[in-house]
Amino acid sequence: MQSIRTIVLVGTGNVATRLGLALKRSGLVIRQVFGRTGLSAERLAAALGAAAVQTPEGIAPDADLYVLAVSDDAIADVAGTIKDRGRFMVHCSGSVPMDVLSPFTERYGVVYPLQTFSKDRELDFKTVPVCIEAGSIRDLDLLYGLAEGISGTVMTVPSDKRKLLHLAAVFACNFPNYMYAVADRLARSAGLDFEVLKPLILETARKVQEIPPTDAQTGPALRGDRKVLEAHLELLRHDPGTRDLYRMVSEEIGKHRSGK
Amino acid sequence: MQSIRTIVLVGTGNVATRLGLALKRSGLVIRQVFGRTGLSAERLAAALGAAAVQTPEGIAPDADLYVLAVSDDAIADVAGTIKDRGRFMVHCSGSVPMDVLSPFTERYGVVYPLQTFSKDRELDFKTVPVCIEAGSIRDLDLLYGLAEGISGTVMTVPSDKRKLLHLAAVFACNFPNYMYAVADRLARSAGLDFEVLKPLILETARKVQEIPPTDAQTGPALRGDRKVLEAHLELLRHDPGTRDLYRMVSEEIGKHRSGK
């Protein structure tokens, strides 16, 4: 069976950048980068040894794979723009069903890397779990081969489960990050720098690499320490949003404690 | 000025264990470990090259420092048990004011290590910020010397600011850990192992070591992506507590977005 060798990458954001670099490193040829914003496309294309394309007409018709690394809302639009029954297209979204691509081509799939990406942050892609899905067994095999080249963890995950995993990722990444932002504000209100919280944040994330999070839970809410909880709510009296958030998370932690 | 050389450690929990080991490593002598549960005290004493004591009468009267590494509620009790006007006592709590010790001795203070500790997890104490406070300049100097021996970051933090910092620590540690626990449940409901979320959790914590958390924020709530938010709430319909939590955190993230 033939494997994927040449790729057209659509998109110039964080995922496009990190995924593109990983694909190139795995030995694949990124032929073109298609992006609506010219400068970004040219910059990424240069980094990938690819050509930048700004109009759909310029897109190579015979690449082995078209990777749509664009925002959720743009996936169908882009697929419509480059549609061709024979082109193998994948999107990279956690929450968009694979079927969104089926009106535009007979060969479609998903390559969803479960990680938070920044354009400017290096990251070992080998550690990033990659979830794949495809409309046919043959194409799933092709994506498996591609994903194995960039990651040490490849999983076949159908759309309905991918959606749940994406929700889990919000709780694993976006929500903790917001908690860090609140912690930052509180430290500054005490005249201290966010710097002092960094070792705690890192150790908390490291701990659950070894211990299940329910076993790693500590703090006043878990102990049911009313005195400290009340004192904390009092400290937050001038920030009702954060106070309500504190109360709700503490109650949830308490529920699961009593449920033990 | 004389520095602290000999210590009596009260408590046998996570903080007592990690702090005791760090103090010993810095060259101080842990003379005794006082603990109500005999076996724990003996085990920790053995690890510290100290003697285990189980009755207040057995406590050495002439140690340079008495470290009360016990739960918040027990601090005053323990201080009452070992009270002596001349004994230098410190507690290790984030939320308890220093003054709780003043009825029991003329020399008191606080050594609060800002970290989450586990008995069984090794950890480089040099990276742990240590907040100190004392009732006199002389004793503050003594604690500074002691803290510098165990940590690369020593800060003088008065009780009212330490309380705020402790609240910040809840947002930096306990709450993210609870989010991990929810993520774990959701991944398992998709038939996937928590394992797949570990790289994401670690990278999220690593990111804010370099980028301020408000800049590192990503996800549907930040983008104001109603479609994904609604889909996620729908996925959580059978778990109202988590659904309400999702809604509230997302709203808070959204508020701070529009406030940008």
> In percent, how much of chain B has pLDDT > 70?
98
Q: How far does the CA of residue A154 sit from the closest CA of chain B (Å)?
A: 10
Mean pLDDT of A8-20: 95
- Judged by CB atoms closer than 8 Å, whether chains meet at B228 and A116 is answered as no
Alpha-helical regions (H) of A191-235: 198-207, 213-216, 220-223, 226-235
Residue A30: left (phi > 0), alpha (psi -120 to 50), or beta?
Answer: beta
Measured in whole angstroms, how far is the alpha carbon of residue A219 from the centre of its chain? 29
Write out chain A residues lying below 8 Å of B219, CB-based: 170, 173-174
Structure tokens at B38: 């005999």
Per-residue pLDDT band at B258 (split at 50, 70, 90): low
Q: Alpha-carbon distance A251 to A187, whole Å? A: 23
Q: pLDDT value at position A128?
A: 97
Query: What pLDDT was estimated at residue A85?
Result: 84
Q: Do B172 and A165 touch (CB under 8 A)?
A: no
| pLDDT for A203 beyond 80 | yes
Q: Does the distance separating the beta carbons of B207 and A116 come in below 8 Å? A: yes
Distance of residue A40 Cα from the nearest chain B Cα, in angstroms: 20
Set of chain B residues whose Cβ sits within 8 Å of the Cβ of A114 = 196-197, 199-200
Q: Is the pLDDT of residue B37 over 90?
A: no
Query: Closest Cα to residue A145, out of A64, A79, A72?
Result: A64
Confidence grade of residue B11 (pLDDT, cut at 50, 70, 90): very high
Contacts of A22 (CB under 8 A, 6+ apart): A125, A128, A150, A151
3 state DSSP class of A227: helix
Nearest 5°: phi and psi at A110? -135, 140
Strand ranges across the sheet with A6-10: A51-53, A29-34, A6-10, A65-68, A88-91, A107-113, A130-134, A154-156
Q: Would the pLDDT of A243 be above 80? A: yes
- Model confidence pLDDT, tens digit, residues B217-250: 999 999 999 999 999 999 999 999 999 999 999 9
User: Are A173 and A149 contacting, i.e. CB atoms less than 8 angstroms apart?
Assistant: no
Instruction: Print burial letters for B164-189: b (CB count within 10 Å at least 16), e (below 16).
Output: bbbbbbbbbbbbbbbbbbbbbbbbeb
Query: What is the pLDDT averaged over residues A71-89?
Result: 93
- Binning pLDDT at 50, 70 and 90, where does residue B260 land? very low
Contacts of A115 in chain B (CB under 8 A): 199-200, 203
State whether A114 and B197 contact (CB < 8 Å).
yes
Q: Nearest chain A Cα to B186, which residue?
A: A168
Return d(Cα A79, Cα A105) in angstroms, integer.
8
What pLDDT, in 10s, does the model give residues A19-36?
999 999 999 999 999 998
Instruction: Give the number of residues written for chain A.
Output: 260
Q: What is the pLDDT of residue B92?
A: 98
Query: What does DSSP assign to residue B128?
Result: S
pLDDT at residue B259 above 80?
no
Question: Which of left, alpha, beta for B6 (phi over 0: left; psi -120 to 50: alpha)?
Answer: beta
Interface predicted TM-score (ipTM) = 0.95
Contact yes or no for B171 and A179 at CB 8 A = yes
For residue B161, the chain A residue with the least C-alpha distance is A190
Span B128-184, pLDDT tens digits: 999 999 999 999 999 999 999 999 999 999 999 999 999 999 999 999 999 999 999
Tell me whether residues B209 and A198 touch, CB distance under 8 A.
yes
* Beta-carbon contacts below 8 Å between A and B: 305
pLDDT at residue A260, as a whole number: 45
* Gap from B57 CA to chain A (nearest CA, Å): 31
End-to-end CA distance of chain A: 52
Residue A216 CB: number of other CB atoms within 10 A?
22
Q: Is the pLDDT of residue A147 over 70?
A: yes
Q: What is the pTM of this model?
A: 0.94
The answer to whether residue A1 scores a pLDDT higher than 70 is no
Cα(A219)–Cα(A110) distance, integer angstroms: 40
Does the pLDDT of residue B122 top 90, yes or no? no
B38 pLDDT more than 90: no
Tell whether the torsion through CA atoms of A172, A175, A180 and A186 is positive or negative: negative
Contact A248 B248 (CB under 8 A): yes
SS3 content of chain B, % helix, strand, coil (to 5): 55, 15, 30
Measured between its terminal Cα atoms, the distance across chain B in Å is 52
| Chain B contact probe: residue of A15, A203, A242 with most B CBs at under 10 A | A203
CB A48 within 8 A of CB A9: yes
Smallest Cβ–Cβ distance between B199 and the set A129, A161, A213 belongs to A129
Is residue B119 scored above 80 in pLDDT?
A: no
Nearest Cβ partner for A207 among B118, B192, B218: B118
Are the Cβ atoms of A218 and B174 closer than 8 angstroms? yes
Which residues of chain A are within 8 Å of residue B70 when distances are taken between CB atoms? none
Q: How far apart are CA A59 and CA A252, in angstroms?
A: 51
In DSSP terms, B156 is beta-bridged to B132
Q: Residue A118 and residue B222: Cβ atoms within 8 Å?
A: no
| Contact across the interface for B253 and A178, Cβ inside 8 Å | yes
